[in-house]
């Protein structure tokens, strides 16, 4: 695609040099000298520079001495102030310093350098060095350091195919290339150049969409001139290939962007992509003859699709001259912010020995439009030594030697210079976005009083581009809070961006979530990825909006106070490794990450109890953690809502960037823990009503019969409530903590079976051995069966059958002492196999459960009350039984009792004595009767004879007595009557004795039967 038309070239040259007269470029110099250095032994220079969006400039300064070298960082801020810091702690090898520098993010820089292998330098092979890269922040911290390629990876076959290191692409390119993300290798790939000739020039560049452009030139020489089918001339070809964004894969197969048959070699001076979306440009030099310096330069404009847009012949003092030392001090091409390119080179490129002539040392600047027209060429006495960058306002920075470096006043000094050049703009349609394609936005640049996102149902941002454009399917929109530039608050992928086509523009809209602009009177900014939008005519990626350009401030807002708020968050099972290995460290890490992402002061967020929990049931692999947000500004309630929103949209928010917060369960969110009593107010009221009803029933029972055991009402209610809650807990919550399910089941079923069996046994035994209970049982069978079943909840329920609550005659079961004893012992066993285990289970449940519900709470309370009641009740019963047994052997002293109590006791003893005497008489008479019955008929016959004989004797005595009575005085009559009474008493005693013996025999038989049953 060469042009041999001389007239056309002359016409083109006339057109180029008759362009609009642009005034000379103004160059400002800022020099730095070190007077302590000996110029013959030491040297100071700048290894690289890069410009940041905030207007600051960062330099890597190298000072090399005979046996050592030193690296330092200089930052020149937008206001003119400076800061310096040494970087010796990086430990880079002696004499090897960074030779590239590129901006990464807002504050970080990337650099690459070559390190000589074992200090063995081969002058015939200048690339015989290991290649390294690193990333550093503004404070001089080396964040990453990685070996890109070792020297021994280059063989003799592919040394000529070595593409080198690109100052901005951050990759090493040979016939094999590698792509990194920070220090992590994304992938590698290669392209086989076999059969395409010898690679003589190369150039890799980063593309706007996050991919890479690789351009290389080859020369194919004739192999057989006598063969008419083989090439008869040299072929000079220039290839281009694009890599996919963030990938080592090839986007388009290598395609030819230039070819010629008259040049023996094609050199690639520089390649760059257009900042306004007009494709890519390469500046080429065709060397026409190996023995002469004849050069033919071209600019090639092509698209990433593989189409060559234009090939333009050039004519300038830079492009028409051949470098004496090859690539050592070659041409630099800088794509300008507002269209066009700046080419520059130093006279040292043509003759390195001119550095001894102050007036012969100079640099040339060529200013080209995007379509290849030279509009300005200027020669200046700037000793450009390599290293350049550009600010967003189109100010170019060049690094070099001071213009007066040969001045005798500085003959013993070593220094460097920074040159500032304001380049004119070819386009003036920038509305402040540093992107000529953007027309407007909402919020607009510099806007204030923007409402926070939580104040509206939907908050939509918009960005309007000129002309008809499309989303590329790549890139995103990021929203940052000023001061937290490392991590965006929200990332909106292109899939969530809406496109609206207008007549002469295209608007893109996206909705923000409520937590994005969450702080009043705070500055935020929005970043739009390069290449997110493509133009409709060339389908080339367009630049986005750099961080810090599209900024705005939210409106002020009245501070609303709120109390401390506690939220519950849940982690995926993958987070277990953090909490199990070191829970304290994990919780501290969590608090730190959340305080940065909300953001909130670290002292306002904490973890209550400094513990974590497993979730319930099937989700028991998940981790639950309480977070407490203390009151302050912004309000704790607002921050809790923001936290829930950030977690719910985890994959889009800054939370995804934390080591622990990235493992949060987005479906769970952050649940605000309301006041337990307020949350369960209805249940608490119903519980209170039940308690009041129980109290009223007790009062009514007391009114009806205050001598009954009415307290059994409350005891019965407590037993039933405890059993019911234990059952509900078993059915609804026992599997919340997996290891408590089996114990909960065992200590419910076993006591239930034990109580049911014992209750049935006691009732059955009483019906067989207690006649009074049997008589009562026959009259109250239904009541007994009901309470026997209820006894399965607690055997003490049987006591209610003898309580006579409220005077209910049905509840007057005559339990024997043996039955009462068994009820007491059964209750004691139940205390150990039911009450205590279930109380422990409730404690373990509370310790291992984050979300504590009302049913477990009531179960724990009733279990505690049952334990307390059982202990106190059994202690009191034990004391009462002990006191009763002691009273059988001890009589109270007169001094230990009051007069009233003493007289009452004496009266009771007297009454008891009379009743006992009657009982003894009755008992003796019954014994006598029994004795007579036991003796049988013969005894009865003998008894009758004796009785007849006695009656005859008594009759005779009576007659005699009647006869003598007449003679007896009244006193004698009285004595006689007393004797008769004594005789009758004796008869009665004999009869009672017989009955007593009979009863003793019956009791002996009963006791023997009881002993046999007990043994069974």
CA separation for the pair 896, 357 (Å, rounded): 130
pTM over 0.75: no
Query: 466-487, pLDDT tens digit by residue?
Result: 999 999 988 899 999 998 888 9
Q: Give residue 127's pLDDT.
A: 46
Average pLDDT over residues 218-232: 66
Rounded distance, CA 191 to CA 241, Å? 10
The pLDDT value recorded for residue 578 is 92
pLDDT value at position 1014?
47
Question: Among 94-103, 536-545, 741-750, 858-867, whose mean pLDDT is lowest?
Answer: 94-103
Q: How confident is the model at residue 874 (pLDDT cuts 50, 70, 90)?
A: confident
For the residues of 211-280, what is the DSSP string, one character each?
Answer: -EEEEEEEEE--S-TT-TTS--S-EEEEEEEEEPTTSSSEEEEEEEEEEESS-SEEEEEEEEE-TTS--E
| Residue 587 binned pLDDT confidence (cut-offs 50, 70, 90) | very high
Tokens 């550095």, located at residue: 355
236, 261 contact by CB (below 8 A)? yes
CA dihedral defined by 944, 949, 953, 958, rounded to 10 degrees? 30
Query: Among the listed ranges 27-31, 144-148, 166-170, 886-890, which one has the minimum average pLDDT value?
Result: 166-170
Nearest-CA neighbor of 131 among 173, 68, 87? 173
β partners of residue 845: none
Residue keyed to tokens 């055991």: 709
Q: What is the DSSP letter of 89?
A: G
Task: Characterize the bridge pairing of strands 545-554 and 447-450.
Answer: parallel
Helices (H), ranges, 888-898: none
Confidence of residue 231 (pLDDT cuts 50, 70, 90): low
**Tokens 């070996």, residue located:** 147
pLDDT band (50, 70, 90) for residue 166 = very low
Q: Is 55 helix (H, G, I), strand (E, B) or coil?
A: coil
- 225 neighbors 247 (Cβ within 8 angstroms): no
Close Cβ partners of 817 (under 8 Å, ≥ 6 residues apart): none
Q: What contacts 34, CB < 8 A, 6 or more positions away?
A: 44, 63, 413, 414, 415
DSSP state letters, 493-550:
EGGG-EEEE-SSEEEEEEEEPTTTT-STT-EEEEEE-TTSEEETTT--EE--EEEEEE
Give, to the nearest 10 degrees, the angle between helix 741-769 and helix 771-779: 110
Q: Which residues pair with 180 in a beta bridge?
A: 185
Tell me which residue of 197, 191, 200, 194 sits closest to 231, measured CA to CA. 197
Distance CA(821)–CA(815), nearest Å, equals 10
Region 126-133 average pLDDT: 64
Say which range, 290-299, 402-411, 519-528, has the weakest mean pLDDT: 402-411
Taking CB atoms within 8 Å and a gap of at least 24, the contacts of 865-872 are 865/718, 865/722, 866/718, 866/719, 866/722, 866/835, 866/839, 867/835, 867/836, 867/839, 869/715, 869/718, 870/827, 870/831, 870/835
Residue for token pair 């070595």: 162
Directed axis angle between helix 970-1015 and helix 899-965, to 10°? 130
Q: 671 exposed, middle or buried (CB, 10 Å; 0-12, 13-18, 19+)?
A: middle
Specify the pLDDT at position 406: 65
Residue of 165, 161, 212 whose CA lies nearest to 186: 212
DSSP state of 433: S
What six digits make up the tokens of 889?
A: 């052997």
Beta bridge partners of 388: 398
Placement of tokens 């009474």 in the chain = 981
* Residue 880 confidence class, pLDDT cut points 50, 70, 90: confident
Query: Distances in Å between the alpha carbon of 882 and those of 394, 420, 815, 887?
Result: 104, 106, 20, 9
How far is it between the farthest Cα atoms of the chain? 196
Please, what's the b/e burial string for 721-757 (b: 16 or more CB within 10 A of its CB; e: otherwise)? bbbebbeebbeebbebbeebeeebeebbeebbebbbe
Which of 218, 151, 212 has its CA nearest to residue 178?
Answer: 212
Task: Name 981's Cβ contacts closer than 8 Å, sequence gap at least 6.
Answer: none
d(CA 973, CA 969): 6
In the chain, the percentage of residues whose pLDDT exceeds 70 is: 73
Q: Using alpha carbons, select from 104, 110, 116 the residue that is nearest to residue 133.
A: 110
Provide the β-strand partners of residue 506: 465, 501
Backbone Cα Rg of the chain: 54
At 19 the pLDDT is 46
pLDDT in tens, 604-622: 999 987 888 888 767 778 8
Q: What are phi and psi of 364, to 5 degrees?
A: -115, 135
- The sign of the CA dihedral 486, 489, 493, 499 is negative
- Mean pLDDT: which of 164-173, 498-507, 676-685, 704-713 is highest? 498-507
- The whole-number pLDDT of residue 304 equals 87
- The sign one gets for the Cα dihedral 774, 775, 777, 782 is positive
920 pLDDT exceeds 80? no
Count CA atoms closer than 13 A to 863's CA, side-chain side: 24
Q: Where does the pLDDT of residue 661 fall: very low under 50, low under 70, confident under 90, or very high at 90 and above?
A: very high
Residues 6+ apart with CB under 8 A from 781: none
Reply yes or no: is the peptide bond before residue 785 cis, omega within 30 of 0.
no
Average pLDDT, the chain: 78
- Alpha carbons 380 and 361: distance in angstroms, whole number: 9
Q: Is the pLDDT of residue 119 over 50?
A: no
Token pair 């006193």: residue: 971
CB 459 within 8 A of CB 492: no
Average pLDDT over residues 765-782: 89
Q: Phi and psi of 102, rounded to 5°? A: -140, 150
Is the pLDDT reported for residue 553 higher than 90?
yes
The tally of CA atoms less than 13 A away on the side-chain side of residue 468 is 4
pLDDT greater at residue 642 or residue 122: 642
* pLDDT for residue 196: 62
**Cβ(497)–Cβ(477) under 8 Å?**
yes
Instruction: Look up tokens 């007449």; give the residue.
Output: 966
Contact 417, 32 (CB under 8 A): yes
**pLDDT at residue 264 in the model:** 79
pLDDT score recorded for residue 176: 73
| Closest to 609 measured CA to CA, from 848, 864, 844, 841 | 848
Give the tokens for residue 870.
């059982």
- With contact defined as beta carbons under 8 Å apart, do 398 and 302 qualify? no
pLDDT tens digits along 312-347: 888 888 777 766 555 445 677 788 877 788 888 776
Average pLDDT of 532-559? 89
**Could you tell me the sign of the dihedral formed by the alpha carbons of 536, 538, 544, 550, in that order?**
negative
> In this predicted structure, what is the pLDDT of residue 170?
33
Q: Listing from the earlier edge strand, what are the strands of the sheet with 383-390?
A: 27-34, 414-422, 395-401, 383-390
| CA distances, 101 to each of 165, 208, 387, 583 (Å) | 11, 18, 8, 42
Most confident of 277-286, 537-546, 647-656, 945-954: 647-656
Strand partners, 346: 363
Mean pLDDT, rounded, for 897-905 = 67
The full set of domains in the chain, from first to last, is 438-554 (2.60.40), 565-673 (3.30.70), 680-886 (no CATH), 910-937+990-1004 (no CATH)
């Amino acid at each position: 695609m060469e042009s041999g038309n001389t007239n056309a070239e002359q016409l083109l040259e006339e057109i180029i040099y008759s362009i609009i007269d642009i005034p000379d470029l103004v160059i400002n110099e800022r020099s730095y000298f070190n007077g302590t250095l000996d110029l013959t032994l030491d040297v100071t220079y700048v290894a690289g520079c890069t410009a940041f969006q905030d207007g600051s400039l960062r330099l890597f300064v190298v000072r090399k001495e005979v046996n050592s070298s030193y690296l330092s960082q200089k930052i020149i801020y937008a206001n003119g102030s400076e800061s310096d810091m040494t970087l010796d702690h990086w430990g880079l090898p002696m004499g090897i310093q960074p030779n590239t520098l590129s901006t990464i993010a807002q504050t970080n820089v990337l650099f690459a350098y070559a390190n000589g292998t074992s200090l063995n330098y081969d002058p015939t092979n200048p690339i015989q060095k290991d290649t390294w890269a690193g990333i550093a922040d503004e404070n001089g911290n080396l964040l990453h350091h990685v070996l890109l390629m070792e020297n021994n990876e280059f063989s003799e076959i592919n040394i000529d195919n070595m593409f080198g290191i690109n100052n901005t692409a951050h990759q090493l390119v040979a016939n094999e290339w590698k792509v990194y993300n920070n220090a992590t290798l994304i992938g590698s790939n290669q392209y086989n150049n076999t059969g395409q000739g010898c690679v003589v020039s190369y150039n890799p560049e980063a593309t706007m969409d996050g991919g890479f452009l690789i351009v290389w030139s080859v020369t194919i020489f004739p192999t057989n001139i006598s063969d008419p089918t083989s090439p008869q001339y040299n072929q000079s070809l220039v290839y281009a290939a694009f890599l996919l964004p963030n990938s080592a894969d090839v986007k388009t197969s290598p395609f030819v962007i230039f070819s010629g048959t008259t040049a023996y070699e094609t050199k690639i001076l520089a390649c760059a992509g257009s900042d306004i979306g007009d494709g890519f440009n390469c500046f080429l030099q065709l060397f026409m003859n190996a023995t002469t310096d004849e050069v033919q330069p071209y600019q090639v404009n092509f698209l990433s699709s593989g189409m060559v847009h234009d090939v333009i012949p050039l004519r300038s003092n830079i492009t028409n001259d051949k470098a004496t030392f090859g690539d050592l001090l070659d041409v630099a091409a800088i794509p300008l912010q507002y269209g066009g390119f700046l080419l520059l080179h130093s006279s040292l490129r043509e003759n390195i020995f001119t550095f001894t002539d102050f007036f012969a040392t100079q640099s040339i600047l060529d200013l080209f439009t995007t379509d290849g027209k030279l509009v300005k060429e200027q020669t200046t006495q700037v000793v450009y030594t390599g290293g350049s960058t550009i600010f967003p306002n189109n100010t170019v920075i060049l690094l070099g030697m001071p213009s007066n470096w040969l001045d005798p006043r500085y003959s013993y000094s070593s220094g460097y210079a920074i040159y500032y050049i304001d380049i004119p703009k070819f386009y003036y349609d920038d509305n402040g976005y540093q992107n000529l394609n953007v027309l407007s936005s909402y919020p607009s640049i510099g806007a204030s009083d923007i409402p926070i996102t939580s104040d509206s149902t939907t908050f939509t941002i918009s960005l309007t581009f000129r002309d008809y454009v499309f989303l590329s399917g790549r890139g995103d929109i990021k929203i940052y809070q000023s001061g937290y530039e490392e991590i965006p608050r929200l990332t909106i992928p292109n899939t969530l961006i809406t496109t609206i086509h207008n007549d002469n523009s295209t608007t893109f809209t996206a909705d923000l979530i409520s937590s994005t602009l969450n702080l009043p009177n705070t500055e935020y900014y929005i970043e739009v990825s390069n290449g997110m939008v493509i133009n409709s005519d060339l389908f080339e990626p367009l630049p986005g909006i750099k961080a810090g350009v599209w900024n705005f401030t939210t409106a002020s807002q009245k501070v609303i106070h709120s109390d401390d708020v506690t939220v519950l968050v849940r982690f995926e099972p993958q987070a277990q490794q953090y909490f199990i290995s070191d829970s304290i460290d994990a919780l501290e890490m969590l608090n730190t990450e959340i305080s940065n992402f909300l953001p909130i002061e670290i002292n306002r967020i904490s973890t209550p109890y400094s513990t974590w929990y497993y979730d319930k049931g099937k989700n028991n692999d998940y981790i639950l953690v309480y977070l407490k947000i203390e009151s302050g500004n912004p309000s704790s309630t607002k921050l809790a809502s923001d936290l829930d929103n950030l977690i719910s949209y985890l994959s889009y928010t800054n939370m995804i960037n934390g080591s622990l917060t990235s493992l949060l369960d987005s479906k769970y969110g952050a649940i605000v823990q309301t006041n337990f009593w307020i949350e369960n107010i209805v249940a608490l009221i119903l519980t209170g009503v039940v308690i009041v009803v129980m109290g009223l029933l007790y009062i009514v029972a007391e009114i009806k019969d205050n001598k009954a055991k009415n307290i059994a009402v409350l005891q019965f209610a407590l037993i039933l409530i405890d059993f019911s809650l234990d059952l509900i807990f078993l059915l609804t919550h026992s599997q919340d903590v997996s290891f408590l399910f089996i114990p909960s089941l065992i200590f419910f079923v076993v006591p239930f079976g034990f109580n049911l069996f014992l209750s049935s046994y006691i009732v059955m035994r009483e019906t067989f051995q207690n006649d009074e209970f049997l008589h009562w049982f026959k009259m109250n069978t239904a009541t007994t069966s009901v309470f026997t079943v209820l006894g399965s909840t607690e055997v003490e329920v049987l006591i209610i059958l003898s309580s006579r609550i409220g005077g209910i005659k049905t509840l007057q079961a005559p339990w024997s002492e043996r039955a009462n004893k068994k009820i007491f012992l059964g209750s004691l066993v139940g205390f150990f196999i039911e009450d205590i285990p279930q109380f422990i289970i409730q404690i373990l449940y509370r310790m291992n459960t984050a979300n504590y519900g009302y049913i477990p709470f009531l179960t724990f309370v009733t279990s505690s009350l049952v334990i307390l009641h059982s202990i106190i009740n059994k202690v009191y019963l034990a004391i009462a039984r002990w006191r009763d047994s002691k009273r059988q052997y001890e009589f109270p002293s007169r001094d230990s009792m009051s007069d009233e109590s003493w007289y009452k006791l004496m009266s009771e003893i007297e009454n008891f004595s009379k009743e006992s005497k009657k009982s003894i008489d009755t008992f003796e008479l019954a014994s006598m009767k029994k004795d007579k019955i036991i003796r049988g008929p013969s005894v009865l016959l003998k008894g009758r004879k004796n009785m007849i004989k006695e009656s005859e004797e008594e009759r005779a005595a009576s007659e005699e007595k009647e006869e003598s009575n007449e003679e007896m005085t009244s006193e004698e009559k009285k004595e006689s009557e007393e004797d008769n009474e004594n005789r009758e008493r004796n008869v009665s005693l004999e009869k009672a004795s017989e009955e007593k013996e009979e009863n003793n025999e019956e009791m002996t038989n009963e006791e023997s039967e009881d002993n046999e049953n007990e043994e069974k």
